[in-house]
Amino acid sequence: MANLIEFLSLSSFVGAAETVIVDARSGPDAARQYQQGHLPGAIFVDVETDLSSKTADAADGGRHPLPDAASFSVTLQRLGITPSTTVIIYDNSQGANAAARFWWMLRAFGHQSVFLTNGDLNTAIAAGFALESGIVDPTPAAAPYPPGRWQDHVVDMQQIRHCLKSEQACAGESAAMGRPNFPTDKINSEHLIVDVRESERYQGFQEPIDLIAGHIPGAINIPWRQNIDETGKFRDVAELKTLYSKFLEGVAPEKIILQCGSGVSACHTLFAFHLIGIKGAKLYVGSWSEWSRNNNPMVGGGDKP
């Protein structure tokens, strides 16, 4: 499948000229775990610093806001990535934290030769890869990467407020939660917001990360884990098309907005869309982490215990 590489094919890329293999695992101990064992030649990319530009308050852009284009260009230079580089990315969570985020960012910059591995680090170990320890220092490129255009691929909180699915949903659900309504003349029912978080978080039964549980009014829930099979690999194209056709039929791709907790795992579904030829869907980067901190209308919201 396009832009998806099997681990059995990966060995031919290790050490190849103009190829960068990236370990994009995340979590509070990600850097130390990378040093303890990673694929041969893989450099480490940190979602908290390399793929985000965090603010003091997650209400301002969410937990993983995008860096500005100029800063990301310099990051790519430091990582040794040029427009002609082949980039292969893996993580420790089937691509959802944060391999797909890096894939999406590169694609948003216009980079074509970028691949996700089909499966994660555990898949590689099962395929017989021997890990190496220590740190692989990238060789910087001679110049910053030509900046791309985030704005063509994202929506912000104000745009989400204007895209809530129906006047009744916005007014009724917002009033039930004791939160303000937004101008009904700005609501556009042509848009579809897809929340890719686990069902329990979407429904408001639990929230392990953010302060309030629930979801954006009108958003539908298609958890990103439905993109993968029981082995942790992406489902084939036919299965993915069957999964999404029943939800997306009649909706123009450019009217589809993907969101999650903080704009990372939503990129996994954007990659799945790429595999099945859906082009033009947008990412709400701030996602629930921003939305839930700004007195917006919510469904099923409840304070975190």
Instruction: Give me the phi and psi of 69, to 5 degrees please.
Output: -60, -40
Distance CA 220, CA 202 (A): 9
Q: Is 170 a catalytic residue?
A: no
Distance CA 23, CA 129 (A): 14
Q: Which of 163, 170, 260, 267 is catalytic?
A: 260
* Unique residue bearing structure tokens 């099962």: 126
Let me know: does 152 contact 146? Beta carbons within 8 Å.
no
Report the chain's C-alpha Rg in angstroms.
19
* Unique residue bearing structure tokens 């308050």: 57
Identify which of 225, 193, 216 has the alpha carbon closest to the alpha carbon of residue 290: 216
Counting every residue written for the chain, the total comes to: 305
- Element (DSSP H or E) covering residue 71: helix 69-78
Distance CA 118, CA 222 (A): 20
Let me know: does 19 contact 249? Beta carbons within 8 Å.
no
Dihedral sign computed on CA atoms, order 31, 103, 75, 287: negative
Identify which of 80, 81, 85, 114 has the alpha carbon closest to the alpha carbon of residue 100: 114
Active-site residue set? 260
